[in-house]
Structure 1
Amino acid sequence: MTALTVLLFLARLPAAGASMVLTLHVVVSLGRGYGQAGLVGAAVTIGMALGSPYLGRVVDRWGLRPMLVLATVGETAFWLAVRHLPYQALLPVAFLGGLVALPVMSVGRQAIAAAAPPDLRRAGYSVDSVASELTWVVSPVVAVVAATRLTPAVATTLLGFAVLVSGSALLWLNPKVRPDSAEPAGSGGVALRTWLTPRLLAVYVIAGGAVFVLSGVDVSLVASLRGSGQLDWTGVAVALTAVASALGGIAYGALRRAPGQLRLMVLLSALIIPAGAFFGGQWWVLALALVPGCAVCAPTVAATGEAVSSLAPPSASGVAAGMQSSAFTTGAALGSPVVGFVLDHTNPGWGFAAAGVGGLLFAVVAWVLARAHRTPAERPGDRVATGASTS
């Protein structure tokens, strides 16, 4: 399990720095604007959202290794081709690159569900969330250094080789992605309609909502520090919030009886809403104001992973994990432009409020879906005290 955790951390590094490298390549190497760079990023995002469930289906039908070969070859080819493409060709190719992007997060969640017994899955998903947070502390910094000290075009090539190494390492390790008691890959799956219940849809809504909030926080943080002339401190502020999230994940993993993911989602959103009001022009004050909300981030994400593994059958774990990745991607794709629109028409403090209110709206939708799933016997208020509970 330790080797798997370390490998998943290293394999996530290329993905965490990809957006930064691609943006700098479009702006610096191709001489385009940030809006056009955003379109390329959106093309990748849409491709990932659509491709993740299908890559998961490949795992369910044929096993992990065929999917890893497909994704590793496909994404490596994309990054090696980027520097040679004009902007007009980059847009459609970026979409194709997103379709076959190496789904490290999905593989990690499936491996944890297969390796950890049910009573230890919360701790496993918490460790995974903490490792994910740490990649966002390290990778963007490395990406910027590579793109500025060398060139963005060279950085895209290096990123391609990093993906190749990551995918090859996962191929070599070949972690188990379904329990021993589950049917082997290719033995016939369960129909989607039998397990994609309103309760599981509520989990996906919460997953997307959590990333919506975090994406909005990132945009608002940059806008706030840029407006106060402290943009150079953005990396430090982001690192502090990531550490807070990691510590929250560790604490959540140690709990024997954890709160439901819906409550975590509401708490995350509610704590983010007033954060901008505490910004008095000093970056560290804003970072400290964000710490309570960000501390709930990793627990919320971990709770959704635990719920997906509990609610989806092992024979469909690949598709289920892929759909969760699509939910994360969709939340990120919505958070930045929605909160960005608010920032364009108000002051930066309202961006945090918009992110939090948006998260509460996601929570309301999840609550409605969860109630629609309950039987009359369940509605008085009893709930299972596991990560699969949405309340």
Structure 2
Amino acid sequence: MGFATYAEVLKNPVVRRILLLGMFIRVPLWAAGVVITLHVVTHLGRSYTEAGLVSTIVAVALSVSSPWRGRRLDRVGLRATVLPSIVIGAVAWSIAPWLSYWPLVVVAGVASLFAVPSFSIIRQVLIGHVPDRQRTTVLSVDSVATELTFLVGPVLGVLAATYLPTPVALLICQLSVVGGAIMLWIANPPLNSQHSDLSAGKVSVRSWMTPSVVMVLVIAVTSTVILTGEDLSTVAALRDWDQTTAIGWTLALWGAGSAIGGIVYGALHRHPSAAALLVGLAGTTALVALAPDGNLFWFALLLTLSGVFCAPTITATVDDLSRSVPASVRGEAMGWHGSALTFGSAVGAPIIGLALDHGGWSWGFALAGLMGLVIALPGLALTRRGRAAAGAPTVEEAVALGDAQQATEAPLGI
């Protein structure tokens, strides 16, 4: 393993700055997600179902906007893309906390359509400013940083909603996201290095949306379906066992396993494909269903083991995708990746919820794992075929030559 590569990556000033900026945006973003639910339920006196509808509208809006905002990044650059997000976000979220339920739904949806494409920006900057051999490592660092913000953000959101009126807490969280976007606009980090090959220019989606790219996006969707399934099934299991006080630390162990897995994955000299890691994630998720009923020790142990594959699988989808598309459309591709993750979370909740209602917590884990294995098998076959074609021209070369036949055969994750 090459843990020394992490030291090399973190010596890069561009990497350090963009990771720090990412933290400033992501922590209040995760906090706002919790606060808006509490705001709808407590301040507006609505049900959790109605609070869930707001989250669904926001998720759909983000799924629609991510590729579009990513395409804007590719074509007009960071500042021209982020400025409308800053203006619309500041206006919308200054008004939204004081609105009644249905106007809040509309304003939240509109604001989400113009959300800052922070994940696309951060990953583009990271990929564009490290050598190819450090790409997986720097993406693993970003994955672990995201895990940390996801652990910290909701806690701060709950604290803010507890000690402040929820409209004020929501205002602070969302304007903090806008503040992070302003810092990003001022910093204006270059999305690509001077060595990036942008010769492909503006190309249509059809020229780079190859079977390999589609499979990576399907794996990303499936990964978040599994993660949503693990989250919901964990809560269901511990509620069944009257162990609700253990929910927090059990999920924390799951997150810690994910962070450890991400660090180890980034240090490997040879990296498994996203499809191979999905097999590990799906298999260990299904394994949790075999934990003895009521045995918290074995349940937490198996859940932590499954967590080891979480961050590496998501990181691998970003890595494989970034190597499968031209640099000139990387922002749009990362937008599609963000939509895939959001879509997986949105569809995962009702699917796993159905399993929990009919079969209990073990069915939730079993279904999530089975779905992952079904998707991973064709992914593995496509990956092997791509790696067998290692001598073929890259996607960027094929698109630059206008050879659609070669572009569809470009190798995945090479």
TM over 0.5: yes
Structure 1 gaps, min length 5: 380-387
CA distance in 1, matches of 2:257, 2:69: 32
Q: CA RMSD in A?
A: 2.3
For the Cα contact (< 8 Å) 2:323–2:413, is it kept in 1? no
Against the structure 1 CA distance between its residues 136 and 285, is the aligned structure 2 distance closer, same or farther, given a 3 Å change threshold? farther
1:135 aligns to 2:149 (yes or no):
yes
From 183, 208, 226, the equivalent of 1:213 is 226
Per-residue deviation at 1:79?
2.6
- Normalising by structure 2, we get a TM-score of 0.86
Q: Which residue of 2 aligns with 1:101?
A: 115
Give the alignment of 1:189-204 within 5 angstroms: 189-204=202-217
1:70 aligns to 2:84 (yes or no):
yes
Q: Which residue of 2 aligns with 1:264?
A: 277
Against the structure 1 CA distance between its residues 101 and 369, is the aligned structure 2 distance closer, same or farther, given a 3 Å change threshold? farther
Against the structure 1 CA distance between its residues 194 and 311, is the aligned structure 2 distance closer, same or farther, given a 3 Å change threshold? same
For the Cα contact (< 8 Å) 1:237–1:284, is it kept in 2? no
Q: Which residue of 1 aligns with 2:6?
A: none
Q: Which residue of 2 aligns with 1:302?
A: 315
For the Cα contact (< 8 Å) 1:268–1:297, is it kept in 2? yes
Deviations 1:64-98 (A, max 9, x none): 11111122332333332222222122223222122
CA distance in 2, matches of 1:236, 1:79: 33
Counterpart residue type for residue 21 of structure 1: V
From 299, 302, 322, the equivalent of 1:286 is 299
1:49 aligns to 2:31 (yes or no):
no
Per-residue deviation at 1:31?
0.8
Deviations 1:333-380 (A, max 9, x none): 111111011111221121111221222233245457668x859x749x
From 322, 326, 329, the equivalent of 2:339 is 326
For the Cα contact (< 8 Å) 1:240–1:291, is it kept in 2? yes
SS where residue 289 of structure 2 aligns? helix
1:125 aligns to 2:139 (yes or no):
yes
- Normalising by structure 1, we get a TM-score of 0.91
Against the structure 1 CA distance between its residues 290 and 76, is the aligned structure 2 distance closer, same or farther, given a 3 Å change threshold? farther
Structure 2 gaps, min length 5: 1-14, 391-410
Q: Which residue of 2 aligns with 1:111?
A: 125
Q: Which residue of 2 aligns with 1:167?
A: 181
Counterpart residue type for residue 156 of structure 1: L
For the Cα contact (< 8 Å) 1:248–1:296, is it kept in 2? yes
Give the alignment of 1:173-188 within 5 angstroms: 173-182=187-196, 188=201
SS where residue 168 of structure 1 aligns? helix
Counterpart residue type for residue 138 of structure 1: V
CA distance in 2, matches of 1:358, 1:82: 38
Counterpart residue type for residue 237 of structure 1: T
Runs of 4+ in structure 1 over 4 Å off: 182-185, 367-371
Per-residue deviation at 1:260?
1.3
* Number of residue equivalences: 380
Per-residue deviation at 1:315?
1.1
Per-residue deviation at 1:320?
0.7
Against the structure 1 CA distance between its residues 366 and 86, is the aligned structure 2 distance closer, same or farther, given a 3 Å change threshold? farther
SS where residue 274 of structure 1 aligns? helix
Counterpart residue type for residue 81 of structure 2: M
Deviations 1:189-239 (A, max 9, x none): 112111111111111111111111111111111112222222233222221
For the Cα contact (< 8 Å) 2:386–2:412, is it kept in 1? no
Deviations 1:28-77 (A, max 9, x none): 11111111111111000000000001111111111011111122332333
CA distance in 2, matches of 1:213, 1:33: 26
For the Cα contact (< 8 Å) 1:262–1:390, is it kept in 2? no
CA distance in 2, matches of 1:16, 1:283: 28
Q: Which residue of 2 aligns with 1:14?
A: 28
For the Cα contact (< 8 Å) 2:324–2:412, is it kept in 1? no
Q: Which residue of 1 aligns with 2:328?
A: 315
SS where residue 281 of structure 1 aligns? coil
Against the structure 1 CA distance between its residues 332 and 227, is the aligned structure 2 distance closer, same or farther, given a 3 Å change threshold? same
Counterpart residue type for residue 244 of structure 1: G
From 345, 350, 354, the equivalent of 2:367 is 354
